[in-house]
Amino acid sequence: MSLQDRNRKVVEASITRNKDKPGALLPILHGIQDSIGHIPPEAVAVIARELNLSRAEVHGVISFYHYFRQTPPGRHTLQICQAESCQAMGSGALTAHAKALLAIDFHETTSDQEFSLEPVYCLGHCGCSPALMLDDEVHARVTPDRLEQLLAEARRGQQ
């Protein structure tokens, strides 16, 4: 099955599962991104047709929310909290270290497609700052050394 075919199946399945819910658009988009990691551009027209919306409306919703991405992420997504509590505990240095290690800025993916780096504004672990999320795992009280260790483990596929 080609990638497009696979994506189309995911998009259609998410629409079928959610379209009868009131306010179905966000659940549909989540269903797609949960499965394939982003919202592929070809999904917009399909969703618009099924929900009787304009493509502009669907695109407008996708682009409004920071969480929805329109391009595939790397194999691992690293989100580092940028909010005040983590700033008070050194997230600035941690972020600088991550950017230097990965040689990318926020909203970028490493050239080997291994890591995407994203800012996040509060993960709710302000009692043990600084916090980050690597894929589905939360890590708190993270030092630059621990970050290196986590990235190395992820690279080796030990996540």
Partner 1 sequence: MSIRIYVPRDSSALSLGANRVAKAIAAEAAKRGTELEIVRNGSRGMFWLEPLVEIETPTGRLAYGPVDTADVPGLFDANFLQGGEHRLLLGPTEQLPFLKNQERLTFARVGITDPVSLQNYLEHEGYRGLKRALSLNGGAIVEEVTQSGLRGRGGAAFPTGIKWKTVLNTEAAQKYIVCNADEGDSGTYSDRMIMEGDPLVLIEGMTIAGIAVGATIGYIYLRSEYPHAELALNEAIAVAVANNYLGTDILGSGKTFHLEVRRGAGAYVCGEETSLLESLEGKRGIVRFKPPLPAISGLFGMPTIINNVISLASVPIILDKGGDFYRDYGMGRSRGTLPIQLAGNLKHCGLVEKAFGVTLRELLYDYAGGSATGRPIRAVQVGGPLGAYLPESQFDTPLDYEAFASLWAVLGHGGIVAFDDTVDMAKMARYAMEFCAIESCGKCTPCRIGAVRGVEVMDKIIKDQDRAANIALLRNLSDTMLNGSLCALGGMTPYPVLSALNHFPQDFGLHQTQQAA
| Interacting residue ranges for partner 1, rule: CB under 8 A | 22-27, 29-30, 51, 57, 60-61, 64-68, 83-89, 120-129, 131, 133, 136-141
Q: Which is nearer to partner 1, 6 or 148 (CB)?
A: 148
Identity of the residue, 99 or 139, whose beta carbon is nearer to partner 1 in the bound complex = 139
Name the residue nearer to partner 1 (CB basis): 34 or 148: 34
Residues in the chain: 159
Smallest distance, Å, CB 110 to partner 1?
22
Cis peptide before 73 (omega within 30 of 0): no
Shortest gap between Cβ of 6 and partner 1 (angstroms)? Answer: 23
Least Å distance between CB 138 and partner 1? 4
- What is the Cα–Cα distance from 88 to 81, expressed in whole angstroms? 11
Please report how close the Cβ of residue 75 comes to partner 1 at its closest, in angstroms: 19
Is 74:113 a contact under the CB 8 Å cutoff? yes
In the complex with partner 1, which residue's Cβ is closer, 105 or 112?
105
Report the alpha-carbon distance of residue 52 to residue 48 in Å, rounded.
6
Q: Is 82 helix (H, G, I), strand (E, B) or coil?
A: coil
Closest separation in Å from C-beta 136 to partner 1: 7
Return the structure tokens found at 22.
């009131």
Tokens 């700033």 — which residue?
87
Burial class (CB in 10 A: 0-12, 13-18, 19+), 33: buried
Structure tokens at 114: 């291994």
Q: Which is nearer to partner 1, 64 or 103 (CB)?
A: 64
